[in-house]
Structure 1
């Protein structure tokens, strides 16, 4: 597209794409695919890069622009390698293949996309054939894929293999005239896809194409399939690319945590100030039922750890009354971590809400039916993801869910408890306001910290912290669940979990320290802490315990690194303030050293228990 900028102006691309309708994205993708990622990185070194190796069965050239534009919509730069035609078995089976060599050189999230279509089965059917012939071919193919996935898991350290379910074309089912045979084919095909879906594990992600097909995406064009060997349509590949981009966004640490809703014509029908509490449309009538459907979906998301808030241009009293008393409401005041009803600009309310929650605004998703409000938020807070709702409430759910903003690789118990724990922060803020000094508040808060090797059930949560924590994340090295498990099993390393509680309740697992022993040197490979709890002394107490452990275990020194990002500048001085000397520093970050000659100062208001699981590391 002529109005999209060159490589030097890459930071503006995300905002421009947000304004484009879906039917303009293919053209934008073709333009962006012509940009050299090296040129973008030369102009903007901090741009998050995702490496994708595309292999599979058939012609897949349409995936390059589709993946490029879908990742760019999330601010991610795609480095795409397109494999030779139909090389997927060789690529995945040979540990010395270009696939593994390419992924091994990746600096950042890396994916192998093995894109498969129904032709991998249809091409191997005998003539004539019956349903049991297809079942045998399906069984052999799934066994092969399972074996290849095992090879990938053992070879591609830290990368993710993306597979997909196989669409069942009517062209195959219609060839069987016996309806029982046709039903047997359908059953065998679905059983094969179920086996694929069960492969979804830390090293493997499976994109289920059935929901995309159910939305009307065409799976196959006979002419493209026969003449160009493109066995999946461009439209289906574009939808697949969107799902792959969601995976890439998670791996790059760009997950969203907060859903902020407008209220009038978003959560309920009508303008509250004009129609009054009795006149809002919800639960009854065709529009009211549409708004109730939307509320149910929001509540479902909230039950899985999404923080739900509201920002509305209304007087606070009537809003509170509707949320508390209206008999048709599904969402109630207790479902929101905050409701901001006032007449101030919404972007100001969003910024203050981010400060209250101690989160970056780039972890927010904002949904509003007003083009004016959406445009203003996009301009003033470009990191906020904006959901374009229209005046048709029946389409609200699809608009909210289309980008999988809150998807996570694994939902943890910490996710489920998150909304309740953020609501507890209101009680802590009220408690703080009763003190004249922060020291007095911290002393009475009664913070307890437990530092210990992460249990197997906690490793997914540790991975999630590396993927989602941006502010107190000293290196921002993103680790998949498989990488965390490998690290936990390394005898020279230690994955330590940080849990905390105070007088208001449990915070749960709020941080992690990753250690490695290298002779007489103990290295802090990363230190992470949830934004919910830092600046309360927990980080200093934990680091003090690590230094004391190093001294007692006869380490000569402790080394630690800081890698600068756009979001972790707040902790740039963390190690020097703890007595570390700078070994070297540049624009990218710094390395520090502590000689262990001076014991760390205790943090008087923290009660800490530390278990390092033995003397080493």
Structure 2
């Protein structure tokens, strides 16, 4: 059997057996065991090692994950028409790699549709958080025949898509999390050759049409695609599928491909939890250009058209710039004199990246772990939101040792392959792109200008007035829904309850007359900060409105936005008949910064319930809005 696609961007672990033995000796259910298991999962494990780690994981955490995890556990149901048991360990380990504890349920063989329909089935009793449709190519192509006329093939395809959409609808009603649909592997040989599309009923052509139709249909239904066909096109079908194994065991995905398959599933689940990385940190010498700028000078570095090396480094820069265009922040972390490091950005005619593209530029002779901490602090994001692209194996190993939460991909020797390695690793996996994502670079450049203004002003009140802030608010609406859901699911620090919402659940707030959903956008003299706060309240008995969700972007802290949001919330709540607000703080590993949020706003403490702290604010007099900004509906 051919070797499967490798997780080649992860560091090798030749000592994995010794590390696994040490893991098994740790106390079951402990944080130490979880961290040790996660560290091992973040190495290049093959099918055998992955299964061994999974066995240890299930034994150590049979009673559930350790307390205090920053990520939500996931209950995943796999609805399959083929054998997928060989994939389960890899899916769990892929989730572990991202700090997620995953419990998996698979419907009985060939019974996925029956279990989906039957409220008394094991699937319904499992109560999944997410559903994966892993329907094999033979099942999907069952309605296709080579002798079909074009209109007959079209009708068969329409019928299949209709069945899938009905299955998605039922799955979405069953679970509160994402629904995933696997694209069809191209397992059928062609009957016409390169022009197979001219035989529309041929299974290969039929599945190609299905895969072409799925993106639009899935997007309309809020379903996320697991692009198995795309991976097979990159890696070769033989890396993913074995025809003899299919006939012997009905395993469509061959066991050697399981670790990559599990990673593909896990990165989609992680993206829905807001766990995708936010910032690509770039080394400079031999990463963005060939050579050493301090030694070779501006004219001596390898960059630009006319040489294979120079063109390869241009592709690295082009990929970084394209990531920035979809919302990924770019930073520089280089051991260099700052002026020397900045020179190519300003003066080299072939540079694609310019300093204006870089949200944080750090070049000095300090160690890289210290500088990565500096970058995370400057951008106000977690270290676990950083990905370091660095050609130097020593620096990669040092950062992994000192900052294991920072993602550091192994890189091939050929720089032309850096972009593919970064893409294959899936650090920036996403399921949607909003207008705020595209504007993120400009927003962080505005933050730098605001910081410069703050540094030149000693009077805080005067600084806030000079920002000329406008806070725009409105109820939840269809236009803002994608950004609302994105913020709810990725905001961890300034988040009082860390409740997560699907798009359907957020849309339901708009229809609920007892619910209040508010979105806030902040503008100032330096630009548009985008949507920076989401509040959800629910009116209950005796005129009390419970604040279900209060989250904000950390980049607007210190500008009295909290007080302004409270003023709007209180006014709207009282308009709905509320006489008091009830706020709750539920601690997580990341939201300690808002523990005192409600007391600072004048709320009175109530009796705690376990770790949850409750507070109340009477609405006899509405809280005053801050005078440093204009508050407008719109």
TM above 0.5: yes
Compared with structure 1, are the counterparts of its residues 427 and 124 closer, same or farther at alpha carbon in structure 2 (3 Å cutoff)? Answer: closer
Alpha-carbon RMSD: 2.6
Offset, 1:68: 1.0
**Aligned equivalents of 1:440, 1:215: Cα separation in 2:** 57
Q: Deviations over 1:365-408 (max 9, x none)?
A: 11111222122222332322222224321221122112322233
Deviates more, 1:591-600 or 1:286-295: 591-600
Given that 2:376 and 2:383 are in contact with CA atoms closer than 8 Å, whether structure 1 keeps it comes out as yes
Q: Could you tell me which residue of structure 2 aligns to residue 338 of structure 1?
A: 360
Given that 1:10 and 1:40 are in contact with CA atoms closer than 8 Å, whether structure 2 keeps it comes out as no
Q: Pick from 87, 94, 98: which aligns with 2:122?
A: 98
Given that 2:153 and 2:201 are in contact with CA atoms closer than 8 Å, whether structure 1 keeps it comes out as no
Q: Could you tell me which residue of structure 2 aligns to residue 269 of structure 1?
A: 290
SS in 2 for 1:163: strand
Aligned pairs for 1:225-236 within 5 A: 225-236=246-257
Aligned pairs for 1:62-81 within 5 A: 62-81=86-105
Offset, 1:587: 5.9
Q: Could you tell me which residue of structure 1 aligns to residue 5 of structure 2?
A: none
Offset, 1:53: 0.7
Compared with structure 1, are the counterparts of its residues 20 and 208 closer, same or farther at alpha carbon in structure 2 (3 Å cutoff)? Answer: closer
Offset, 1:143: 2.7
Deviates more, 1:40-49 or 1:393-402: 40-49
SS in 2 for 1:149: helix
Q: Deviations over 1:238-277 (max 9, x none)?
A: 4332222111111223122111111111111112222222
Q: Pick from 287, 302, 322: which aligns with 2:324?
A: 302
SS in 2 for 1:246: helix
Q: Could you tell me which residue of structure 2 aligns to residue 145 of structure 1?
A: 164
Q: Pick from 401, 423, 430: which aligns with 1:401?
A: 423
Compared with structure 1, are the counterparts of its residues 335 and 61 closer, same or farther at alpha carbon in structure 2 (3 Å cutoff)? Answer: same
SS in 1 for 2:387: strand
Q: Pick from 442, 463, 481: which aligns with 1:441?
A: 463
**Aligned equivalents of 2:381, 2:446: Cα separation in 1:** 16
Alignment of 1:197 with 2:219, yes or no, is no
**Aligned equivalents of 1:450, 1:134: Cα separation in 2:** 51
Q: Could you tell me which residue of structure 2 aligns to residue 614 of structure 1?
A: none
Q: Could you tell me which residue of structure 2 aligns to residue 167 of structure 1?
A: 185
Q: Deviations over 1:307-347 (max 9, x none)?
A: 11111111122222111111222222221112211111111
Given that 1:263 and 1:310 are in contact with CA atoms closer than 8 Å, whether structure 2 keeps it comes out as yes
Aligned pairs for 1:357-368 within 5 A: 357-368=379-390
**Aligned equivalents of 1:221, 1:504: Cα separation in 2:** 57
Given that 1:207 and 1:243 are in contact with CA atoms closer than 8 Å, whether structure 2 keeps it comes out as yes
Given that 1:121 and 1:137 are in contact with CA atoms closer than 8 Å, whether structure 2 keeps it comes out as no
Q: Could you tell me which residue of structure 2 aligns to residue 615 of structure 1?
A: none
Compared with structure 1, are the counterparts of its residues 553 and 170 closer, same or farther at alpha carbon in structure 2 (3 Å cutoff)? Answer: closer
Unaligned runs of 5+ in 1: 612-617
Compared with structure 1, are the counterparts of its residues 288 and 91 closer, same or farther at alpha carbon in structure 2 (3 Å cutoff)? Answer: farther
Given that 1:277 and 1:318 are in contact with CA atoms closer than 8 Å, whether structure 2 keeps it comes out as no
SS in 2 for 1:432: helix
**Aligned equivalents of 2:206, 2:168: Cα separation in 1:** 21
Alignment of 1:17 with 2:36, yes or no, is no
Q: Pick from 285, 291, 297: which aligns with 2:313?
A: 291
* TM-score, normalising length: structure 2: 0.88
Q: Could you tell me which residue of structure 1 aligns to residue 593 of structure 2?
A: 570
SS in 1 for 2:308: helix
Offset, 1:410: 1.7
Given that 2:178 and 2:223 are in contact with CA atoms closer than 8 Å, whether structure 1 keeps it comes out as yes
**Aligned equivalents of 2:42, 2:170: Cα separation in 1:** 39
Alignment of 1:513 with 2:535, yes or no, is yes
**Aligned equivalents of 2:45, 2:344: Cα separation in 1:** 35
Alignment of 1:55 with 2:79, yes or no, is yes
Compared with structure 1, are the counterparts of its residues 453 and 157 closer, same or farther at alpha carbon in structure 2 (3 Å cutoff)? Answer: farther
Q: Pick from 589, 604, 607: which aligns with 2:627?
A: 604
Alignment of 1:538 with 2:555, yes or no, is no
Aligned pairs for 1:385-464 within 5 A: 385-464=407-486
Compared with structure 1, are the counterparts of its residues 179 and 214 closer, same or farther at alpha carbon in structure 2 (3 Å cutoff)? Answer: closer
Given that 1:33 and 1:65 are in contact with CA atoms closer than 8 Å, whether structure 2 keeps it comes out as no
Offset, 1:156: 2.3
**Aligned equivalents of 1:33, 1:15: Cα separation in 2:** 12
**Aligned equivalents of 1:276, 1:543: Cα separation in 2:** 55
Offset, 1:95: 4.6
SS in 1 for 2:531: strand
Unaligned runs of 5+ in 2: 1-16
Given that 1:253 and 1:478 are in contact with CA atoms closer than 8 Å, whether structure 2 keeps it comes out as no
**Aligned equivalents of 2:507, 2:322: Cα separation in 1:** 30
Deviates more, 1:265-274 or 1:399-408: 399-408
Alignment of 1:382 with 2:404, yes or no, is yes
**Aligned equivalents of 1:33, 1:600: Cα separation in 2:** 51
Given that 2:50 and 2:89 are in contact with CA atoms closer than 8 Å, whether structure 1 keeps it comes out as yes
**Aligned equivalents of 1:184, 1:65: Cα separation in 2:** 37
Q: Deviations over 1:506-558 (max 9, x none)?
A: 21211111111113111111111111112211012211332244345442321
Compared with structure 1, are the counterparts of its residues 66 and 237 closer, same or farther at alpha carbon in structure 2 (3 Å cutoff)? Answer: same
Q: Could you tell me which residue of structure 1 aligns to residue 613 of structure 2?
A: 590
**Aligned equivalents of 1:297, 1:212: Cα separation in 2:** 19
Compared with structure 1, are the counterparts of its residues 36 and 159 closer, same or farther at alpha carbon in structure 2 (3 Å cutoff)? Answer: farther
Q: Could you tell me which residue of structure 2 aligns to residue 89 of structure 1?
A: 113
Offset, 1:138: 4.7
* TM-score, normalising length: structure 1: 0.91
Compared with structure 1, are the counterparts of its residues 596 and 182 closer, same or farther at alpha carbon in structure 2 (3 Å cutoff)? Answer: closer
Count, aligned residues: 602
**Aligned equivalents of 2:605, 2:195: Cα separation in 1:** 77
**Aligned equivalents of 2:252, 2:409: Cα separation in 1:** 33
Offset, 1:416: 0.7
Which structure's relative contact order is higher, taking Cα pairs within 8 Å and 6+ residues apart? 2
Compared with structure 1, are the counterparts of its residues 558 and 179 closer, same or farther at alpha carbon in structure 2 (3 Å cutoff)? Answer: closer
Offset, 1:72: 1.1
